[in-house]
Amino acid sequence: MQETRRERDSMGEMEVPADVLYGASTARAVENFPISGTPLPPRFLHAYGLIKAAAARTNADLGLLERPVAEAIAAAAEEIAAGGLERHFPVDIYQTGSGTSTNMNVNEVIVHLCARKGIKVHANDDVNLGQSSNDTFPTAIHLSAALALKEELIPALESLAVVLEAKAREFHGILKIGRTHLMDATPVRLGQEFGGWARQASQSAGRAQKALKALHELPLGGTAVGTGLNAHPEFAARTIAALAERTGIPFREAEDHFEAQSAKDACVEAHGQLATIAVALHKIACDLRLLGSGPRCGIGEIRLPATQPGSSIMPGKVNPVIAESVTMVAARVAGNQTTVSWCGAGGFLELNVSMPLLAACLLESISLLANVSAALRTKCVEGIQANEARCKELIEYSLSMVTSLVPTIGYDKAAAIAKESVASGKTVRELCAERLEELGITAAQLEAALDPGKMAGG
């Protein structure tokens, strides 16, 4: 039998496991919400610790808490922020829509950490002074997501862009056939394709920056309904300034606390940027696996790194597994976009009541995109090789080579040559060389017109 102790909150006593740091309110939430078995992400809890530490020091500066008490609270909160205490935060994602259970979980853990040092503090009167779940929880969403964007996703996308740009330079001299509608088109440079993907990755990093900017306003200071009841007039500005200094992110107090607490439009906007990033990564991954398909019976213009055996029955088969992981992340982020939008619509009068799920989805999308971008870079793009011989071969067999002759021989004659190329199996170059006089061009003109380098430009 697990040893327990008795803890009390405003509703009465609860049995709490003896070895945990939380109290009755948290135990009550654990009992009430046996839904998914998944608590809020560690990064979110760490952000909550930063908020509580900054709030305690602000309240001491304002003369509302005795300095030793405030420093004890701040030190305990810093322990939460540092990580390693996650097992003491068991409250399910699917809980009260304001996140009150998690806020009280944080408050109770701080109380017990202080008690270990012989300092008695109250979860509501001291740790939660000048605060409400209704303004601290959305503040923790913005803070945790902003830090994840700054520390994880933006660097991952920027690094991916750098490697793709390097490949674009490496492959600039390699000519290949272009494709539209997945059908042969006029020639391009392999480097041009990689350059397009590099630009997508770079633009994605910019979109992550926009997502970060959308989260700069913090709801802290609105307390219960946005009026700031029971908070010192300077509490929010001072605490937010401390958080901005601590993180290096230019957070600022919400211009309108009623908007900041009742609506979660900023989070929906931020995740919209993530959804766009997911679409971009999906495009890059799908193109890579198409060009690498084969290796002998597909396009095969590039060789993707072999990362693991691809089949339990077909010896030697190697699959584009990294690219496939990207497409699955994109699917998950697309699903999270729907969930975040739905949660954003869960604002009723003075409060949004879908915040824990919104927080979980937003942070999951950032983490997945950051991790899969890093994997795509290190386990795929960095090791890609060009199959130059295959690129040259497919250019010669392409019907679209005839396009460059249109200004000289006209569209109808060019179309006829393309059709004959299909029927005979001969290349456009071979057919044209056989009928130079009929077409009214010289061999030199033909070679110049069918120069794939000129067609590709740049």
Q: Which residues of 14-48 are buried (b: 16+ CB within 10 A; e: fewer)?
A: bebeeebbbbbbbbbbbeebeeeeebbbbbbbbbb
Lookup: tokens for 323: 């690219």
Find the catalytic residue in 10, 46, 144, 181. Answer: 181
Find the catalytic residue in 202, 311, 341, 400. Answer: 311
Lookup: tokens for 152: 């994880």
**What are residue 286's DSSP bridge partners?**
none
Lookup: tokens for 28: 């009550």
As a whole number of angstroms, the distance between CA 382 and CA 194 comes to 12
As a whole number of angstroms, the distance between CA 419 and CA 213 comes to 55
As a whole number of angstroms, the distance between CA 104 and CA 142 comes to 19
As a whole number of angstroms, the distance between CA 333 and CA 271 comes to 9
Decide: helix, strand or coil at residue 264.
coil
As a whole number of angstroms, the distance between CA 65 and CA 77 comes to 15
Q: Which of 249, 187, 258, 71 is nearest to 429 (CA)?
A: 187
Please state, as a whole number, how many other Cβ atoms lie within 10 Å of the Cβ of residue 297. 7
Bridging pattern class, strands 175-180 and 183-189: antiparallel
As a whole number of angstroms, the distance between CA 396 and CA 405 comes to 14
Q: Which of 44, 273, 262 is nearest to 143 (CA)?
A: 44
Catalytic site includes residue 88: no
As a whole number of angstroms, the distance between CA 163 and CA 165 comes to 5
Bridging pattern class, strands 302-303 and 252-253: unpaired
As a whole number of angstroms, the distance between CA 73 and CA 56 comes to 6
CA distances from 112 to 22, 84, 87, 256 (A): 7, 16, 14, 35
Catalytic site includes residue 311: yes
**What are residue 187's DSSP bridge partners?**
177
Q: Which residues of 73-111 are buried (b: 16+ CB within 10 A; e: fewer)?
A: bbbbbebbbeeebeebbbbbbebbbbbbbbbbbbbbbbb
Q: Are 73 and 162 contacting, i.e. CB atoms less than 8 angstroms apart?
A: no
As a whole number of angstroms, the distance between CA 446 and CA 450 comes to 6
Alpha carbon 161 to chain centroid distance? 15
- Catalytic residue list: 181, 311
